[in-house]
Amino acid sequence: FSLVILLAVTPHLGVVLASVATDWYDTVLPSGYTLQHYRDALSHGLTVPSIINSLKYAGLATLIDVALGVTIAWITVRTKLPGRNLLDALAMLPIAVPGLVLAFGYLAMTREEQPFDFLIGDNGDPYWIIVVAYAMRRLPYVVRSASAGLQQTSVSLEEAARNLGASPFRTLRRITLPLIGANLLAGALLAFAFGMLEVSDSLILAQKGEHYPITKAIYNLNAALGNGEALASALGVWAMVFLTITLIGTGMLLGKKMGAMFRA
């Protein structure tokens, strides 16, 4: 178990050390340390635009995930429609398919004269295709969390509202959604956080600097001459801090251990 923990933590420690190292050649640990790389990373010309882009991409993708996730979860948990199990399996499919495969698939479908070429805007702007890619990649998080919330909520509460004359939409809005709100928020936070740090789709679909999300900016910084590797590592540490805070906040929100978050 200790070996597994060590193997999991070592890459993160390497990134942290690289982000604070001034000189690190042929030694186990850096020979000098500085925090200047963190300030330089945030002030670099690529950083702020890439953060803004990631917020736009991940924010809209999360809204799509919540809308689709609630719909899919409600169909699979609250109805007896034929094919609901297949729908649930399809919603989980993005977890099983490698991100690079999905990214190249989106790229192929949005080429000129292809069925979804309208998702590429003027001047090759990949905004909508990146949003769709992010949404599909993180949809399973919201579906699982919404399904868990519905399974933990008694259907009798919804039936009582319907018997008192509430429409299905009003019942969903006034009864169901408030009851599963914590689950939805947890799933949305995870979808947003992992969308902000999505790698595969970002590297393949964003080709111009003005469209870079944060992970593509990190990749480009790493290839820059001079202190590019240190700046990329520092920006990576900022990303790890953001993700850690999100995961801790999500666990506190549900009052459960992260491993039990999506259990019914």
pLDDT tens-digit profile of 114-140?
Answer: 778 888 877 778 999 999 999 999 999
Mean pLDDT of 37-48: 87
160: left (phi over 0), alpha (psi -120 to 50) or beta: alpha
* Residues written for the chain: 264
pTM: 0.84
Quote the pLDDT of residue 254: 65
* In the chain, domain spans: 49-227+235-260
Long-range contacts of 175-183 (CB under 8 A, 24+ apart): 176/74, 176/150, 177/70, 179/149, 179/153, 180/146, 180/149, 180/150, 180/152, 180/153, 182/149, 182/253, 182/254, 183/145, 183/146, 183/148, 183/149, 183/152, 183/254
Adjacent-strand bridge partners of 21: 33
**The predicted structure's pLDDT at residue 250:** 74
pLDDT by residue (tens digit) across 232-263?
A: 999 999 988 888 888 787 777 666 545 555 45
> What would the pLDDT profile of 175-200 be if each residue is shown by its tens digit?
888 888 888 988 998 899 899 989 88
Paired strand residues for 33:
21
Q: What percent of the chain has a predicted confidence (pLDDT) above 70? A: 95
Say which residue, 134 or 225, is predicted with more confidence: 134
**Displacement of CA 62 from its chain's centroid (Å):** 8
Q: 46 by DSSP, 3-state: which? A: coil
Pick the CATH number of 49-227+235-260 from 2.70.240.10, 1.10.3720.10, 1.10.10.10, 3.40.50.970: 1.10.3720.10
Give the pLDDT band of residue 22 (cuts 50, 70, 90). Answer: confident
At residue 52, the pLDDT reads 92
- C-alpha 84/C-alpha 189 separation (Å) is 26
